[in-house]
Amino acid sequence: MNENNVKLLKEEIKEFWAKLFQKLTEENDNYEDLIAVWNELHSVFLESVNFSLHQLAEQEFDEEDEIMDKIEANSAVIEVKDKNTGLLFRRYIPIDYLETDNGIIISGETLSGTVSEIAFLSDIALSRINDLRGKGPDKDRCGTH
């Protein structure tokens, strides 16, 4: 897609969301309610775009490639709601993201430039760790004993 088309689409999107936001504020002046509705609309938007992108991706890959066993990215988007003001903030963070059935690992650099990682283990990973440490069930996973 050429640069002019992208620029036009950006303007159309900005105009659409501005009109939608104005309509929302006309119907609701409570900030908390407005944020709740906005989050709901944002989720619907992301789900529909994600669905369309997945359909395009399925056309690109053959059946063997369709099985995803990990998700990787070099950045992430974090959306937070300030607990004092209730304001919603969105930040683009330059972190490495890796997700498998074992969980999620996010990594980046500390202020001193050393690599730092945080792991969020899935229930599957935790049960495997418990099995390895001898704290799992006293029967095998296949249920034969």
Confidence of residue 125 (pLDDT cuts 50, 70, 90): confident
* C-alpha distance from residue 28 to each of 24, 31, 52, 79, 91 (Å): 6, 8, 31, 22, 26
Confidence of residue 74 (pLDDT cuts 50, 70, 90): very high
pTM over 0.75: no
Mean pLDDT of 12-37: 86
Q: Record the tokens describing residue 126, joined without a space.
A: 């935790």
Whether residue 39 has pLDDT greater than 80:
yes
Q: Please list, in sequence order, all residues whose beta carbon lies within 8 angstroms of the beta carbon of residue 100, skipping any fewer than 6 positions away.
A: 69, 70, 71
pLDDT one-digit tens code per residue, 51-70: 888 888 777 765 555 566 78
Confidence of residue 96 (pLDDT cuts 50, 70, 90): very high
Determine the Cα–Cα distance for residues 19 and 16; give it in Å rounded to an integer.
5
Q: What is the pLDDT of residue 67?
A: 61
Determine the Cα–Cα distance for residues 11 and 139; give it in Å rounded to an integer.
61
